[in-house]
Amino acid sequence: MEIAANITLSALAQQFLVGLSRTTILFIVSSGLSLVLGVLRIPNVAHGSLYMLGAFLCYSISLFFGGGSTGFWMALVLAPLCVALISLAVERGLFCHLYDREHLMLLLFTFSFMLLFKDLVKLVWGSDYRSLSAPEILQGSFSVLGMPFPRYNLFLLVLGPLVALGLWFLTNKTKIGKIARAAAVDREMVAAVGINVSWVFAAVFVIGCFLAGLGGALVAPTQNITQGMDHTLIMETFLIVIIGGLGNIWGALLGALIFGLTDSMGVLIWPQFAIVFPYVAVVIVLMFRPKGLLKATW
């Protein structure tokens, strides 16, 4: 067991960047979950399945357009949109009738969706894993303090803050964002001033699911696309949303940073138990700030 044997500055820098790119994926997915939890109060366990669906769709759409760079860019745009469409159908068809049920019931209802999506993915794509290569411009790596760092991860690092800014703009500067924030606090009052809350909720749900699909599509070139890739991710995103503060976009960013960095730094400190570190961090945060680090909308 080699503990702390290989910590050098360059390894530290490399792991830091790896952690940051992991953070980007975690942030994109968990900000969507946070939005849905904060505004609609649905603990959507199927969020991870939408992420998985995004990854599989990204693979298939990319093949449909002949693979390569064009295929990938098309897939990156279309796959999250397809996920958003599916979620729109689900929301309008089923969820919108269940908003006043107990949280536990909603949790179980979304869990049944998770089961459904799991088998649908198996039905359509089979049980083999798939892999997708990044477009040529993002292949290869460059060196950071003498250690190689993949170009694709740099792309993720650029995209993450853009998504964060976009979400901030959407929730704070647009009309629908303002209505959604108001509805999160008091939905009866918002309905009373003549706004159709139901459609605002649908829009928020769809945006949240779009982000899950986007996360899945973005992660597709970096890892094997498999069934069950949603299992650990959904738990991680839930914990991220909780430690960040329910419904708070910046909280999701902070939580994702904590999760991604403790994970990647854990690899340096104690590789065998690297997956334990984020959970320790979460427990410590929750012990001192049970309602999350930043202000929750609940």
Partner 1 sequence: MPSRPMNWKSVVIGLGIVVLLLVAPLFLSRFYIYFLALILVTGLLATSLNIVLGFGGMYQFHHSVFYGVGAYSVALMITKTSLPAFVGFMVAPIVSALLAVVMGLICVRLSKLYFGMLQLSLGSLVWALVFRWYSFTGGDDGIHGIPLPSIISSINTSYYFTLIVTGICLALMYAVTNSPFGRIFQAIRDNPERSESIGVNVKLHQLVGQCIAGFFAGIAGVLFVTVEGSVFPDLMFWTLSLEILIMCLLGGWFTFLGPMLGAAIMVSLRTVVGVYTEYWTMVLAIILMLLIYFLPEGVLGYFLEKIKAHGSGVLREER
Which of 59, 109, 201, 205 is the binder for partner 1 (CB under 8 A)? Answer: 109
**Site string (204-243) toward partner 1, x via CB under 8 A:** ---------------------------x---x--xx--x-
Burial of 175 from C-beta contacts in 10 A (0-12 / 13-18 / 19+): exposed
Query: What is residue 147's three-state secondary structure?
Result: strand
Q: x/- binding map, residues 3-42, to partner 1, per CB under 8 A?
A: ----------------------------------------
CB atoms within 10 A of CB 136: 10
Query: 145 vs 283, which CB is nearer to partner 1?
Result: 283
Exactly one of 45, 75, 200, 254 binds partner 1 (CB under 8 A); that residue is 45
Alpha helices, DSSP H only, in 95-137? Answer: 103-125
Q: Is 100 in the site for partner 1 (CB under 8 A)?
A: no
CA distances from 108 to 111, 128, 282 (A): 5, 28, 24
| Cα Rg of the chain (Å, integer) | 19
Tell me: does residue 289 bind partner 1 (CB under 8 A).
no
Interface residue with partner 1 among 101, 130, 151, 181 (CB under 8 A) is 101
* Alpha helices per DSSP H over the chain: 9-35, 47-64, 68-93, 103-125, 151-173, 175-185, 187-192, 197-219, 229-244, 249-269, 276-288
Q: Which of residues 53-82 bind partner 1 (CB under 8 A)?
A: none
Calpha distance 49→243 (Å, rounded) = 22
* Interacting span for partner 1 (CB under 8 A) from 54-62, 180-188, 197-205, 282-290: 282-290
Instruction: Give the residues lining the site for partner 1 (CB under 8 A).
Output: 43, 45, 94, 97-98, 101, 103-105, 108-109, 111-113, 115-116, 118-120, 122-123, 231, 235, 238-239, 242, 272-273, 275-276, 279-280, 282-283, 286-287, 290-291
